[in-house]
Chains A and B, each alone.
Chain A
Amino acid sequence: MAAGGGELTAPPRPGVRRAVAGALHRRPRLRLSLLLSAPLVWLVVAYLGSLAALFLSAFWTTDPFTSDLVRTWTTANFSDVLTTPVYWHVALRTVGTALGVTLIDVVVAFPIAFYTARVAHPRYRHLLMVAVLTPLWASYLAKAYAWRILLSADGPLDWALKPFGLSGPGYGLPAVVVLLAYLWLPYMILPIHVGLAQLPDGLLEASADLGARSWRTFRSVVLPLVLPSVAAGSVFTFSLSLGDYIAVQIVGGKTELIGNVVYANITLNLPLAAALGTVPVAVIVLYLLAVRRTGTPGTL
């Protein structure tokens, strides 16, 4: 700003640049269309267009011999998805996994967020949040790989549990749930931390003045007020779990979730994969609508 100080007070100079600047200044619509044209081409035409085309291709079919797309309108893929018991099992298992992951994250995240937002010394609160959120940027695969090592047969977990006569869960559905819960944990901690930090002290004091002990205050005042934050965090943990197919391949053993089934069908039967792909999207949309009813701020 300082460098431009001299120029700012200079008298207006005629010239093309000045004329363009004036024209832009007088025409907010022109400015807006200049700002938006490139992003809109990218996001609406390229991205939404691809999504729409994908959804459309769910109504097509493939040649059984060549696996080439045949562009005839049919709802067979959707009725396949809805009437095949295997797909129902996989879908239910996936939703169950996502709910389990969300539940674990709420239980683990709450005490951490409560500590970072209300118990820790104010000077260390920010630092603690940085410590919690930094792993969010650590590689997904490195984290998944860490759990693959941790849960391997005779691996670190087995070694640590051996003195107690126990062993780890090994690879399988429980391992998938644990890994996903680990991966998405920061997504749950941050909203709860923010929600708790914003609680007015007055409400807690009023509750104490009225004779409520900690637990009662927690149950009757804190919990209802922080519920929207929990719901906000659950949107992340739930929808991120729903579409994941990498974690399953790394620690899932033979477990199949909807993402794997979609993946397995892509090369040979894209229309079926597309129809299957609408399942997690539909569930996510339903979940978002349900969460919105609980009064989560619409900023997400």
Chain B
Amino acid sequence: MRLSRPARIILRTAAAAGLAVIYVPLLLVVVNSLNADRTFGWPPTRVTTRWWTAAWHSQGARSALWVSVRAGLGATAIALVLGTLVAFAVHRHRFFGRRTLSFLVVLPIALPGIVTGIALNSAFRSVLPPLGLGFGLLTVIIGHATFCVVIVFNNVLARLRRFPGSYEEAAMDLGADTFQVFRDITWPLVRSSVLVGALLAFALSFDEIVVTTFTAGAGVQTLPVWIFGNMARPQQAPVVNVVAAVLVLVSVLPVYAAQRLSGDTASGGRI
């Protein structure tokens, strides 16, 4: 489409403005974490790294970070297994309910988090007590794993669709058995997509708050839950600022790694 010069300029300006709108609030969080003013008046007059030191020593933020990491690792491990299994089943086999299964995998992130959250909450409440268990980190991991499956599933399935089945057929023609084909052909080809799926599943779990609220036991506080709880407390504001800034900066890592490893779109199977 040949665009007139003014049209090009308008589009360019609109796109630049759009990108600015996307990034200015993120930048603001980072700048504010360096704002020396105790009440965070705007504009900042002086810069300080004092809050970063304070955040580093904040007991609450530290233990919340640790809970988040453990929850993320646990959920990622489960999602990795389940997501990869479903991706292989959907790609390799034709069976009754195949489309329904693909839909079912997406459902936990398609439905509002609060619905998934209370569903799991009431299920746990009726299932756990007879087993002598209660809400804790494990319930958070189960909740997170449920909606992380889709990320691994999407990434692995996209990779499986991209390489031809003839590689595996050639290996089988040469006498390799099912396990050898998997170890020598299939796994090396899908490995990086599994890794990307794992990274992004971890990122999704790390960021989750709604399902966490409904599945966490007393005293189990992930980083987002901690931020949410401390957001309205003025005396915690400096530390909250820093933690939010760290989360913004750190979020670049999984996306960067995913880009390097797979070169797929940056949505990473989330859309």
Q: Knowing A46-B123, A245-B114 are in contact, say whether A134-B85 is a contact too (CB < 8 A).
A: no
A-B contact pairs, 23 of them (CB 8 A): A10-B175, A21-B180, A31-B92, A32-B89, A35-B85, A39-B89, A43-B104, A43-B105, A53-B123, A111-B14, A111-B18, A115-B14, A134-B255, A135-B22, A136-B270, A185-B22, A187-B271, A208-B1, A243-B115, A244-B112, A246-B210, A250-B228, A263-B114
Q: In the bound complex, do residue B180 and residue A4 qualify as a contact, i.e. CB atoms below 8 Å apart?
A: yes
Inter-chain CA distance A12–B270, complex, in Å, is 43
Q: In the bound complex, do residue A145 and residue B227 qualify as a contact, i.e. CB atoms below 8 Å apart?
A: yes
Q: A51 touches which one: B101, B115, B149 (CB < 8 A)? A: B115
Most chain A C-beta atoms within 10 Å of own C-beta, residue among B1, B146, B171, B203: B1
Residues from chain A with Cβ under 8 Å of B111 in the complex: 51, 243, 281, 284
B3 at the interface (CB under 8 A from A): yes
Residues from chain A with Cβ under 8 Å of B93 in the complex: 28, 31-32, 35
Q: In the bound complex, do residue A146 and residue B28 qualify as a contact, i.e. CB atoms below 8 Å apart?
A: yes
Residues from chain B with Cβ under 8 Å of A142 in the complex: 26, 29, 227, 244-245, 247-248, 251
Residues from chain A with Cβ under 8 Å of B248 in the complex: 138-139, 142
Closest to B176 in A: A8
A-B contact count (CB 8 A): 289
- In the assembled complex, how far is the CB of residue A59 from the closest CB belonging to chain B, in whole angstroms? 13
Most chain B C-beta atoms within 10 Å of own C-beta, residue among A25, A133, A145: A145
- In the assembled complex, how far is the CB of residue A45 from the closest CB belonging to chain B, in whole angstroms? 10
Q: In the bound complex, do residue B255 and residue A137 qualify as a contact, i.e. CB atoms below 8 Å apart?
A: yes
- In the assembled complex, how far is the CB of residue A129 from the closest CB belonging to chain B, in whole angstroms? 6
B47 at the interface (CB under 8 A from A): no
Q: Knowing A1-B185, A239-B110 are in contact, say whether A112-B231 is a contact too (CB < 8 A).
A: no
A interface secondary structure, majority: helix
Add 7 more A-B contacts to A43-B105, A57-B122, A109-B18 (CB < 8 A). Answer: A1-B185, A17-B177, A130-B266, A139-B244, A217-B1, A239-B110, A266-B214
Residues from chain B with Cβ under 8 Å of A20 in the complex: 179
B252 at the interface (CB under 8 A from A): yes
Inter-chain CA distance A159–B45, complex, in Å, is 14
For chain B, the bracket of interface size reads 35 or more
Inter-chain CA distance A18–B70, complex, in Å, is 38
Q: In the bound complex, do residue A38 and residue B82 qualify as a contact, i.e. CB atoms below 8 Å apart?
A: yes
Q: A159 touches which one: B29, B43, B78, B95 (CB < 8 A)? A: B43
> Of residues 210 to 264 in B, which have CB atoms within 8 Å of A's CB atoms?
210, 214, 224, 227-228, 231, 240, 244-245, 247-248, 251-252, 254-255, 259
Residues from chain B with Cβ under 8 Å of A204 in the complex: 1
Q: In the bound complex, do residue B177 and residue A111 qualify as a contact, i.e. CB atoms below 8 Å apart?
A: no
- In the assembled complex, how far is the CB of residue A120 from the closest CB belonging to chain B, in whole angstroms? 8
A214 at the interface (CB under 8 A from B): yes
Contact with A along B76-119 (1 / 0, CB 8 A): 00100110011011001101000001001101101111111011
B188 at the interface (CB under 8 A from A): yes
Inter-chain CA distance A214–B7, complex, in Å, is 9
A218 at the interface (CB under 8 A from B): yes
> Of residues 160 to 205 in A, which have CB atoms within 8 Å of B's CB atoms?
182, 185-187, 190-191, 204
> Of residues 8 to 34 in B, which have CB atoms within 8 Å of A's CB atoms?
8, 10-12, 14-15, 18-19, 21-23, 25-26, 28-29, 32
Q: A116 touches which one: B15, B89, B119, B142 (CB < 8 A)? A: B15
Q: In the bound complex, do residue B12 and residue A112 qualify as a contact, i.e. CB atoms below 8 Å apart?
A: no
B2 at the interface (CB under 8 A from A): yes
Q: A145 touches which one: B174, B203, B231 (CB < 8 A)? A: B231
B200 at the interface (CB under 8 A from A): yes
Count of chain A residues with a beta carbon within 8 Å of a chain B beta carbon: 105
Q: In the bound complex, do residue B115 and residue A149 qualify as a contact, i.e. CB atoms below 8 Å apart?
A: no
A274 at the interface (CB under 8 A from B): yes
> Of residues 41 to 62 in A, which have CB atoms within 8 Å of B's CB atoms?
42-44, 46-51, 53-54, 57
Q: In the bound complex, do residue A190 and residue B271 qualify as a contact, i.e. CB atoms below 8 Å apart?
A: yes
Q: In the bound complex, do residue A145 and residue B112 qualify as a contact, i.e. CB atoms below 8 Å apart?
A: no
- In the assembled complex, how far is the CB of residue A238 from the closest CB belonging to chain B, in whole angstroms? 11
Most chain A C-beta atoms within 10 Å of own C-beta, residue among B123, B174, B200: B123
Q: A111 touches which one: B11, B176, B185, B267 (CB < 8 A)? A: B11
A22 at the interface (CB under 8 A from B): yes
Closest to A3 in B: B184
Q: In the bound complex, do residue B14 and residue A36 qualify as a contact, i.e. CB atoms below 8 Å apart?
A: no
**Interface hit among A76-84, A85-93, A150-158, A289-297:** A150-158
Q: In the bound complex, do residue B104 and residue A149 qualify as a contact, i.e. CB atoms below 8 Å apart?
A: no
Inter-chain CA distance A266–B118, complex, in Å, is 8
Closest to B175 in A: A12
Closest to B170 in A: A8
Q: In the bound complex, do residue A149 and residue B40 qualify as a contact, i.e. CB atoms below 8 Å apart?
A: yes
Q: B207 touches which one: A38, A139, A185, A250 (CB < 8 A)? A: A139
Contact with B along A107-140 (1 / 0, CB 8 A): 0110110111011100000000111111111111
Inter-chain CA distance A204–B3, complex, in Å, is 11
Q: In the bound complex, do residue B265 and residue A129 qualify as a contact, i.e. CB atoms below 8 Å apart?
A: yes
B57 at the interface (CB under 8 A from A): no
Residues from chain B with Cβ under 8 Å of A116 in the complex: 15
